[in-house]
Amino acid sequence: MIAAQLLPAAARRPRSRFSQAPVTALATVVAFLACALVWAAPGASAEPPSNLQQQLTDSAGVLGGDTSEVESRLAELRSSDQIQLWVTFVDTLDGIPVEQWTQQTRELSDLGASDALLVVAVDEGRYWFEFDDPEASPTADQLTAQEIADRDIEPRLATGDWAGAVTGAADGLERQGSGSEISPFAILAIIVVIIALVAAVVLFARRRRATRTARQAEDARDIPGDDTARMSALPVEVLDARARSGLADADQSVDASTDALETAAGEFGELRTRPFRSALDSARAEVAAAHALVQRLDDDIPETPDQRKAMLLEVAARAERAERGLEGQATAFAEMRDLLINGAASVDTLTRRAVSLRARLPEAEKTMADLRERFPSAVLSSISDNLSLAGELLDAAEGETVRARAALARPVGEQGEAVDAITSAEGELSRAEKLVNGVEHAADDIATARRDLDPLIEEVEEELTMASRLLASTDVSDTSSQTLTQVAAAAREAVDAARRDGQTDPLGTFSHLIDVDRDLDEALAAAGHEAEAANRARAARRAAITRAAGAVREADDFIGSRSYVIGQAARTRLAAAKSSLATAEGTVGPAAFPAAERALNLAREALRLAQSDASRPQYSGGYGGYGGRGGPYGRGGRRGSSTGAMVGGMVAGALIQGMLRGGGGGFGSARGFGGGGLGGGFGGGFGGGGGGFGGGGAGGRF
């Protein structure tokens, strides 16, 4: 409210002026008379708030002959603007603050929405002007109640122009009422423009979001569908697109593989296509289960965000397993088909290799005889029968090449036997060549084995220590753990044998230890990859929780430092974010990702809502619905139509909620209309509808 100012002496009730005299006796007489008057005469009348019976009440008797003129002006205002200006002049207010006296008088007089009230306490030099109009809405180009008081009322009161103060208030109200009303067509045009702008913004945002999601989903195709850690880090909408596209690809692979299986069965027979059929059946089961999950996601029963994310992760993993199994069989059949296409050339190559190997056998016999003269039989025990075995394998390979050539001579579709024959011949020839090579390079291999056996033993023992650490952790899957356990046991036996027989059979023990070391390396690599993936998942979990915790802390700090202006919506989101963060912190493994992401999103939403609350003007009435006393002319109100603002806000609020949230909502917010404080404000922006304006008043001392 406006601070009061003291009434200048010239503006108060006129009093007689006396010239000063230096005569002491006269001063004494005056003092005596003053005391007598104070004792005998009653004080100025003090009136309590009362029910006004007429528009003009002059208990102070200051209007005199101007009463008729003032009454005529009040009647004119009532007739032209449908505003009743009630005026009361009193001597004093019985010790009650002028604003409180005015409000009590207004209540006792049951003044309505279009009633203004001007109270003037003549002897106290105080006044208050108040008006209440719920139809008013703020505008910058029309006068406020304070401006009417400052411009039209207070200057006249200060000079003792009591009638002029009343007519000035009437003039100010009349000017205020002359503000242009918004026509229905203008209101409709405003609504149409608002709807068009909102629709354009929403459409642009949706397209931009869809484009970004599609781009992220395309990038996410490089992530294996069963890599849960990396998939969990994706935003839900990107994960949704990635999972569905992966399922579509798996579906197409199943269809293509079904046709390919029929063709392969005709070419290679049912026996050779049995692994392919088994892989196809498994893929069909995975795809069917994934489709069932998608059906649940798309039905009318909503899932929680965590449930939705877990289901999408399972869809992606099942699609990945289906495709991977089919790809392995497809590769095998592609190789078989290539083998048939190039079958004749392959048989010719095998024949040449067999002829060349048979020609090397006599020279290898001489080398073996020389080795027996140079080394003890125990040192040569691992290669002593190499040449006899090589001869047997060579005979078998030559027989397979003959069978393959005969199968290739059959009609297309009956040549499947050639695949087995060529494959067998290749394997037998390779083993025979290895046996002959072992004899031809035995002397060098024995020297190398004696030199490198001890370092190899140390290397394998270090790898066994690594295997023990991996087996003790929980990051390795059961399958990899079983494989590593078996390979590690074989490696320990090979190390023991190498220490025991290394001097007597260096070639055999060294060769066996090399094979075992290779198997151990492969098992360690597989288990190590899983452990590394688990470490990455833990790091990603920590990062996700840290990120969410930072967002929660930021929102909590912002809301805590501005708690007096933050609404319930932001606080609710923050509480939910803290709950989700606690869930994420208490969850082990990839299952923590959905809760962490939910906490992050809720914290961001809480901060956004809190910033929106804090950005409202300090005196805008908060959330609406708390209209104060007085009229729109007080501190930011104005006369004129608020229908356009109300309707526009209601329609735009409903439109934004419908478009952005995918569902309809009632017009306005639960907080309703009505601004609070000094003049009110829109009750929460578009979503809250146009808030009406609470009353205002202005006054003070004059």
The model's pLDDT over 442-498, given as tens digits with 9 standing for 90+, comes to: 888 888 888 888 898 999 999 999 999 888 887 888 888 889 999 999 999 999 988
What does the pLDDT average to over 550-565?
91
C-beta of residue 177 within 8 angstroms of C-beta of residue 639? yes
What does pLDDT average to over the chain?
77
Per-residue model confidence as pLDDT tens digits over 284-299: 999 999 999 999 988 8
- Phi and psi angles of residue 381, each rounded to the nearest 5 degrees, phi first: -60, -30
pLDDT for 576 equals: 94
What does the pLDDT average to over 362-382?
88
What does the pLDDT average to over 316-330?
86
pLDDT for 639 equals: 35
Strand (E) or helix (H) holding 40? helix 24-40
pLDDT for 185 equals: 64
Model confidence band, residue 206 (pLDDT cutoffs 50, 70, 90): low
In single-letter form, the type of residue at position 403 comes to R
C-beta of residue 563 within 8 angstroms of C-beta of residue 514? no
d(CA 324, CA 282): 11
Q: How many alpha carbons fall within 13 Å on the CB side of residue 11?
A: 25
DSSP state of 634: S
What does the pLDDT average to over 5-31?
41
Decide which of 238 and 188 is more confident. 238
| pLDDT for 15 beyond 80 | no
Model confidence band, residue 646 (pLDDT cutoffs 50, 70, 90): very low
Query: Of how many residues is the chain composed?
Result: 702
Model confidence band, residue 220 (pLDDT cutoffs 50, 70, 90): low
DSSP 305-370: HHHHHHHHHHHHHHHHHHHHHHHHHHHHHHHHHHHHHTHHHHHHHHHHHHHHHHHHHHHHHHHHHH
pLDDT for 655 equals: 47
In 221-235, which residue ranges form alpha helices assigned H by DSSP?
228-232
Q: Which of 223-227, 507-511, 598-602, 689-693 has the lowest mean pLDDT?
A: 689-693
d(CA 606, CA 600): 10
Give the position of tokens 């031809």: 440
d(CA 409, CA 413): 11
| pLDDT for 210 beyond 70 | no
d(CA 154, CA 185): 40
For 46, 148, 175, the CA distances from 6, given in Å and listed in that order, are 18, 19, 28
Q: What is the torsion angle, in degrees rounded to the nearest 10, for the CA atoms of residue 397, residue 399, residue 402 and residue 404?
A: -60
Model confidence band, residue 214 (pLDDT cutoffs 50, 70, 90): low
DSSP state of 6: P
pLDDT for 14 equals: 45
* Angle in degrees, CA 92, 93, 94, rounded to 5: 100
- Phi and psi angles of residue 81, each rounded to the nearest 5 degrees, phi first: -120, 5
| pLDDT for 28 beyond 60 | no
Cα–Cα nearest to 272, from 456, 459, 407: 407
Cα–Cα nearest to 100, from 114, 83, 123, 121: 121
Model confidence band, residue 178 (pLDDT cutoffs 50, 70, 90): low
Cα–Cα nearest to 197, from 642, 652, 658: 652
Burial 529-558 (b: 16+ CB within 10 A, else e): ebbeebeebbebbeebbeebbebbeebbeb
Look at strands 126-131 and 115-121 and give their pairing: antiparallel
End-to-end CA distance of the chain: 15
Cα–Cα nearest to 594, from 295, 229, 316: 229
Residues 6+ apart with CB under 8 A from 360: 436, 440
d(CA 190, CA 358): 98
Quote the distance between the C-alpha of residue 516 and its chain's center.
51
Mean pLDDT comparison of 31-45, 502-516, 607-621, highest-scoring range: 502-516
| pLDDT for 241 beyond 60 | yes
| pLDDT for 242 beyond 90 | no
What does the pLDDT average to over 256-277?
75
What does the pLDDT average to over 14-22?
39
In 375-441, which residue ranges form alpha helices assigned H by DSSP?
386-408, 416-440
The encoded tokens of residue 501 equal: 């027989």
d(CA 290, CA 318): 6
DSSP state of 691: P
| pLDDT for 374 beyond 60 | yes
Q: How many alpha carbons fall within 13 Å on the CB side of residue 339?
A: 25
Quote the distance between the C-alpha of residue 583 and its chain's center.
17
pLDDT for 694 equals: 40
d(CA 478, CA 458): 28
Q: Tell me the percentage of the chain whose pLDDT exceeds 90.
A: 30
C-beta of residue 584 within 8 angstroms of C-beta of residue 543? no
d(CA 674, CA 683): 7
What does the pLDDT average to over 136-156?
68
Per-residue model confidence as pLDDT tens digits over 79-123: 887 889 999 999 998 788 988 998 899 889 888 877 889 999 999
pLDDT for 696 equals: 61
Q: Tell me the percentage of the chain whose pLDDT exceeds 70.
A: 74
pLDDT for 176 equals: 73
| pLDDT for 67 beyond 90 | yes
Model confidence band, residue 213 (pLDDT cutoffs 50, 70, 90): low
DSSP state of 118: E
DSSP state of 234: S
pLDDT for 45 equals: 54
Model confidence band, residue 42 (pLDDT cutoffs 50, 70, 90): very low
Decide which of 334 and 562 is more confident. 562
Decide which of 23 and 236 is more confident. 236
Per-residue model confidence as pLDDT tens digits over 376-429: 888 888 888 999 999 999 999 999 999 989 988 888 767 778 888 888 899 999
Determine the 3-state secondary structure of 101 from DSSP.
Answer: helix
Look at strands 56-58 and 84-90 and give their pairing: parallel
DSSP 242-302: HHHHHHHHHHHHHHHHHHHHHHHHHHHHHHHTHHHHHHHHHHHHHHHHHHHHHHHHHSSS-
In single-letter form, the type of residue at position 596 comes to A
d(CA 665, CA 653): 9
pLDDT for 208 equals: 66
For the entire predicted model, the pTM comes to 0.37
Mean pLDDT comparison of 22-36, 204-218, 235-249, 636-650, highest-scoring range: 235-249
C-beta of residue 419 within 8 angstroms of C-beta of residue 336? yes
pLDDT for 121 equals: 93
Cα–Cα nearest to 169, from 184, 155, 187: 155
Q: Which residue pairs, CB below 8 angstroms and at least 24 apart, start in 184-193? A: 186/644, 187/643, 187/644, 187/647, 187/648, 190/644, 190/648, 191/647, 191/648, 191/651, 191/652
Written in H, E and C, the secondary structure of 144-206 is CHHHHHHHHHHHHHHCCCHHHHHHHHHHHHHHHHCCCCCCHHHHHHHHHHHHHHHHHHHHHHH
pLDDT for 18 equals: 35
pLDDT for 17 equals: 34
Strand partners, 452: none
Q: Which of 308-322, 373-387, 639-653 has the lowest mean pLDDT?
A: 639-653
Q: Which of 63-77, 420-434, 664-678 has the lowest mean pLDDT?
A: 664-678
pLDDT for 666 equals: 38
pLDDT for 551 equals: 94
Helices (H) then strands (E): counts for the chain: 20, 5
